[in-house]
Amino acid sequence: MLQLNFIRENTEQVIKALHKKHFKQAEETVADLLDLDQRRRQAQNELDQTLAKANNLAKEIGGLMKNGQKEEAEKAKAEATSLREKSKVLEESLKELEQKQQDVLVTLPNLPHSSVPEGRSAEDNEVVYAHGAIPELGPEAVPHWDLIKKYDIIDFELGNKITGAGFPVYKGKGAKLQRALIQFFLDEAETAGYTEIQPPILINKDSGFGTGQLPDKEGQMYYATEDELYLIPTAEVPITNLYRDVILEPKSLPVKNAGFTPCFRREAGAWGAHVRGLNRLHQFDKVEIVRIELPENSYNALEEMSKYVQGLLQKLELPYRVLRLCGGDMGFTSALTYDMEVYSGAQQRWLEVSSVSNFETYQANRLKLRYRDENKKTQLLHTLNGSALALPRIVASILENNQTPEGIRIPKVLQPYTKFDMIS
């Protein structure tokens, strides 16, 4: 959530930045917000004056009674009563204005970093780095949805029978490959200094609000109506919310956490090859990395996280590229996002496997996540997160890019985890 004082002091800058994210009616929304802010401050000032006057009268009443000025004391009592009634009306008005202001404020997305390129869609994203040769598989190559049937390692029909579309069943060497990837990613995170967290996979509304899923993305999450809980879209949400309403000491920073969880997305059910097989699911596994940083360190941390994810892809022997997302393709809460895409040899296209983002103070303001500066004043921290990594498209790329006439070759780095070097 944006900070109101920043909007007030940098109005034109904010409007320009909102346009970069293609936020509709930026001028009108900011104008409404500032009007509500002015009315709220006026109401607060009037309330403060009313309460101060009532308090002063309360102090005078005792002196008037002591001096025998009963008539004057009764007038003062009547005026004090009137002021207290007025203050109740003003308090209700203030609460209403504060709620209206909050309702508008949460509709504003985070402002993009100055390095974010202009653009409306994925076609406008900027390729900042590419690694590895594009595989040439030949005419015999088939996409992963054919490979998983051939080797009987993932079953979509069974998942559809048990639950519905987008909930695959992994079995045999498919299940072992999943487990190997999860353990490999967690071991790498530990080596990189991340503390492993095993969080709940259900969250309440406060947690959803804290990281920006609510009120913006209710329709994308599964909702347990009886208990008013949501299934998590990513481990970022519960792990970041560990620090909701927390004041951290600078010496405890940075905070570096990693967690493996299943993830749940309701919006997965579209048609076409780009969402076929493992390309898009309702339930999938992912290892997430989360960092909390001092503001002056957060962009160095973002670059470090990007290089860390790239290191995982290099160890898996997958060709990849890094994209800096344009303003129109960025997430609601992000200030700067890098996407990592791997090349799918059989599908002959790039597949997104990770997003690494800096949210600056946007989440921290919602979370009330702060630190004490050298003057002992509380300041907002910066939060960051990244996929390290999401499994479905990684599995799809491993299967497709490593297919041979003898079977599917397992990357060397995974063989100690899988205990086999081929799926055949």
Q: Is the pLDDT of residue 347 over 70?
A: yes
pLDDT tens figures, 312-339: 999 999 999 999 999 999 999 999 999 9
pLDDT of residue 271: 47
> Which residues carry a binding-site annotation?
234, 265-267, 288, 352-355, 385
Q: Which residue ranges form the domains of the chain, and what is each CATH number? A: 4-105 (1.10.287.40), 122-423 (3.30.930.10)
Query: What integer is the mean pLDDT of 66-94?
Result: 88
Interacting residues of 165 by C-beta distance below 8 A, sequence separation 6+ = 156, 159, 269, 282
CA dihedral 365, 366, 370, 373 (to 10 degrees): 10
List pLDDT tens digits, range 280-299: 999 999 999 999 999 999 99
Residue set of the binding site for L-serine: 234, 265, 288, 385
- Residue 213 pLDDT > 70, yes or no? yes
More confident residue, 407 or 69: 407
How sure is the predictor about 40, in pLDDT bands with cuts at 50, 70 and 90?
A: very high
Average of pLDDT values for 17-29? 97
pTM: 0.93
- Residue numbers belonging to the annotated binding site for ATP: 265-267, 352-355
Q: Residue 272 — pLDDT band, cuts 50, 70, 90?
A: low
Q: Which two tokens stand for residue 25?
A: 């009616």
Predicted confidence (pLDDT) at residue 44 exceeds the cutoff of 80? yes
pLDDT tens, residue by residue, 97-131? 999 999 999 999 999 999 999 999 999 999 999 99
Tell me the per-residue pLDDT of 182-191, one tens digit each, with 9 for 90 and over. 999 999 999 9
Q: What is the pLDDT of residue 77?
A: 86
Q: Determine the pLDDT at residue 217.
A: 80
Does 269 have pLDDT greater than 70?
no
Q: What are the φ/ψ torsions at residue 214 (nearest 5 degrees)?
A: -115, 140
Q: What is the mean pLDDT of residues 232-245?
A: 98
Residue 146, pLDDT > 80, answer: yes
How many other CB atoms are there within 10 angstroms of residue 325's CB atom? Answer: 23
